[in-house]
Amino acid sequence: MPQAARLLPDLIHSYLSQSGETVPALSQSQPVLLIFLRHFGCTFCREAVCELEKLRPQITSLGSQLAFVHLANDERARRYFAPHHMEDIPRFSDPEGFLYESLGLYRAKWHQYLNPTSIARLFAAWSHGHFLRAPAGDIERMPGVFLVHRAEIVKSFRHKLVSDRPDYAALASLQ
């Protein structure tokens, strides 16, 4: 069953990308797949960014554009996304995590890190070179993904575990 669309929180209007755009403005012309990352040193976030780099053409062909929300400053974000050829992707800095909280992305509990599923996924991610690095941001913040169109959330994925892997292509489609 499709999710009911819901308006973005008012707070999001005060967040500007590195190019001075807001999420609501970006979402007027095409859907925005808004990815909230935990911290730049997170194994699973590093894995997600690599996956999204590969999926970018498919997401674009579905009519959506990527955008990221992160917990670091913009200079750190620019350096983080550059090796993935994503410097042009809109990114929004939220070091205090206020935007995360407004969308229900709270701080993780210990069982969301330390559980058999996350530990197994950690080793699998490490086997593909996605090693843990120094954190930049709140290491306890949970990630999430939202498809935003015309300033409304039309799809969402809130991680239950830090190791969850959303189906980005399915989330990027308005269907």
Q: Where are the domains of the chain?
A: 6-172
Which CATH number is 6-172's, of 3.30.413.10, 3.80.10.10, 3.40.30.10, 3.20.20.80?
3.40.30.10
Tell me the pLDDT tens digit for each residue of 109-149: 766 666 667 666 666 656 666 445 566 667 788 899 999 99
| Residue 1: pLDDT band with limits 50, 70, 90 | very low
Mean pLDDT, the chain, as a whole number? 87
Find out whether 135 and 42 touch, Cβ atoms under 8 Å.
Answer: yes
Tell me the pLDDT tens digit for each residue of 77-107: 999 899 999 999 999 999 999 999 999 999 8
d(Cα 144, Cα 16) in Å, to the nearest integer? Answer: 19
Please report the sign of the dihedral spanned by the C-alpha atoms of residue 68, residue 70, residue 73, residue 78. negative
pLDDT over 90 percentage in the chain: 62
Q: Is the pLDDT of residue 159 over 60?
A: yes
Find out whether 97 and 91 touch, Cβ atoms under 8 Å.
Answer: no
| Residue 48: pLDDT band with limits 50, 70, 90 | very high
| Residue 170: pLDDT band with limits 50, 70, 90 | very high
